[in-house]
A and B are shown apart, each in its own frame.
Chain A
Amino acid sequence: MGAVVSPPPPALALHGLTKRYDGGLLALDGFDLEIPDGAFFGLLGPNGAGKTTLISAVCNLIRVTGGDLRVFGLPHDSLEARRLVGLAEQDVNLDRFLDVRETLVYHGGYYGMTRRRAQARANEMMDVFDLRGKAGVRAPQLSGGMRRRLLLARALMHEPRLVILDEPTAGVDIELRTELWTYIRRLHEGGTTILLTTHYLEEAEALCEEIALIRDGRLLARDSADGLRAAYDAETLQDVYLRAMAG
């Protein structure tokens, strides 16, 4: 008899995820979501829908009220699971005392990379994101676009299998947005699972294989852009979004 081959665990599995903040706000209420390994998944919803809370829960940045969170089958708060996740947050959160190279190398260290390996990887990331010329520049002296590039480079330093991008193109110019799209697509083609939140519907449609709509901490729908249009009998994703959020 041949061995039974179990399917690979999903990149992200959330079951009954609930988060109530100390002030009483219920940001997520029994939220269920599975994202397959290798998917390019978009999360759409208005401000306050619970997108950033969901991401923060996965990355151990908030105290979860209830539910089960697994990353590639591992408890989300285990050290092994944390190694597999890379996060580029919506807000620029860079250490003002570190320059570009130091930011990347220290991040690599936090994730267990040797100094030599982290330096080599930092060089690669600086080349990829055109940051080499700014290697010795501290974060406060970088332009907004450069800071956004650095956030992405930092998230990818430790070569995560699941990359979470929280509005990565918010406030960047068209040229950089196009460059970032290209890079994110190539990253996904290489096998990396991407979870993307964005307010740009055309960005979600252009990049994501599957899109989830959330509002008030609840999942309203998930499907491909075509599937959502069919389900909501809408011509555009914008129409889908407006109907879903109005409902």
Chain B
Amino acid sequence: MTRLEARHPGDELAGARSSAPGLVERRRGLLALASRETHRVLKLWTQTILAPVISSLLFIVVFGLSLGERIKDIDGVPYDQFIVPGLIAMAMAQAAYSNNASSTFQARFDRYIHDVLAAPMRAWEVNLGLSVGGAVRALAIGIALGAVAVPVTGVPVREPFALAAAVIALLVAFCALGVVVGIYAESFDHHMAVNNVAILPLAFLGGVFYSVDLLPSPWEEISQLNPVFYLVQAVRYGFLGTADVSYALALGVTAGCGVVFVAWSAWLFATGRRLKP
């Protein structure tokens, strides 16, 4: 050990009080946390981005390009184009969820979340900062999949603004869900279980590969109880300009789920429940 730094932040504090800090200055903690979460995603990009992109592309190749010619058009849309929006939505939702669930759980498990909880950051800043990684990862996957699937299958983007709104609602809902599950999880198995037992089956049963209009009653009605069905429909409308239900309903249900999960995570951070003994 060679040197001693004994400066104190008291003067800086006084200085900070004398002039109103700017937006960036006031949010440096949030920016640092968001940057760390993004850094984690990019550092492990082969696991966090490349792997889910490849698995989704395999679905497009196997089900769309190989089997697609043997399946008739759905609502006038070629099958290889029909499945692209649902596959992208599913990949993005899973990525947003699993990233935030694992990152939040890991931070709790290794207790380095203490470094953040003790820092001068507001509860909502910690919540938002921990959520950013999932959003970045999901967007990277969605953009990569779109960049390949659009030219390969020729799937159009007929309603770009509707698609953007659907993606935002998707990100809000599944990023917040991931943080919530990461806070409640007692082991890695728990957050994997939510993905494998809930999200993945609901996505497959939510019309990723078929139109629920083709299902006999009561399966068509039962499918409409599945919240992921509305997410798939909202994204599909953005690409194809058509969906099994109205876009407003699909977006409304997805956004409603987002509001519930954000409120839940905000409550956890504001009260410290599950985060602080």
For the complex, what is the distance from the CA of A84 to the CA of B8, rounded to whole Å? 9
B residues less than 8 Å from A94 (CB atoms): 110, 112
Question: Chain B's nearest CB lies how many Å from the CB of A160?
Answer: 7
Q: How far is the CA of A103 from the CA of B32 in the complex (A)?
A: 11
The residue among A91, A111, A114, A156 with the most chain B CB atoms within 10 A of its own CB is A111
> Which residue of A60, A80, A102, A108 contacts B39 across the interface (Cβ within 8 Å)?
A102
Q: Is the CB of B31 within 8 A of A124?
A: no
- Is A172 engaged at the interface, CB distance under 8 Å to the other chain? no
The segment out of B114-122, B159-167, B241-249 that lies at the interface is B114-122
Flag whether A174 is at the interface (Cβ < 8 A).
Answer: no
Residues 31 to 89 of chain A near chain B (Cβ within 8 Å): 59-63, 79-80, 82-85, 87, 89
Q: A109-B28, A113-B28, A158-B9 are in contact. Are A21 and B118 (CB under 8 A)?
A: no
In this complex, what residue of A is CB-closest to B6? Answer: A190
Closest Cβ–Cβ distance, residue B2 to chain A (whole Å)? 6
Distance, CA A101 to CA B246, complexed state (A):
51
Q: What is the 8 Å Cβ interface bit string for chain A, positions 92-120, against chain B (1 contact, 0 not)?
A: 01111110001000111111111000000
- Are A183 and B120 in contact (CB-based, < 8 A)? no
Q: Is A235 an interface residue (CB 8 A)?
A: no
- B114: chain A residues at CB < 8 Å are 59, 61, 87, 89, 93
Instruction: Name the A residues within 8 Å of B110 (CB-CB).
Output: 93-96
CB distance from B176 to the nearest CB of A (A): 21
Q: Which residue from A59, A80, A192 sits with its C-beta under 8 Å from B6? A: A192
- Say if the beta carbon of B36 comes within 8 Å of chain A: yes
Closest to A182 in B: B1
Measured in the bound complex, the distance between the Cα atoms of B276 and A191 in whole Å is 31
Kindly provide the distance from the CB of B188 to the nearest chain A CB, expressed in whole angstroms: 14
Does any Cβ of B come within 8 Å of A239's Cβ?
Answer: no
Q: Residues of A within 8 Å of B, CB-based: how many?
A: 54
CB pair A111–B29 under 8 Å, yes or no, is yes
Interface residues of B in 13-39 (CB under 8 A from A): 13, 25, 28-29, 31-33, 35-36, 39
Q: Tell me which of A125-133, A196-204, A218-226 binds B.
A: A125-133
Please measure, in the bound complex, the distance between the C-alpha atom of A110 and the C-alpha atom of B277, giving whole angstroms.
Answer: 22
With A111-B119, A112-B120 as known contacts, state yes or no: A160 contacts B9, CB within 8 Å: yes
CA distance A80 to B120 in the complex (A): 7
> Known contacts being A95-B112, A112-B28, A114-B28, is A127 close to B120, with CB within 8 Å?
no
List the interface of chain B (C-beta within 8 A of A). 1-10, 13, 25, 28-29, 31-33, 35-36, 39-40, 43-44, 106-107, 110-112, 114-122, 271-273, 276-277
Which residues of A are in contact with B by a Cβ distance under 8 Å?
21-22, 59-63, 79-80, 82-85, 87, 89, 91, 93-98, 102, 106-114, 121, 124-125, 127-130, 154, 156, 158-161, 179, 182-183, 186-187, 189-192
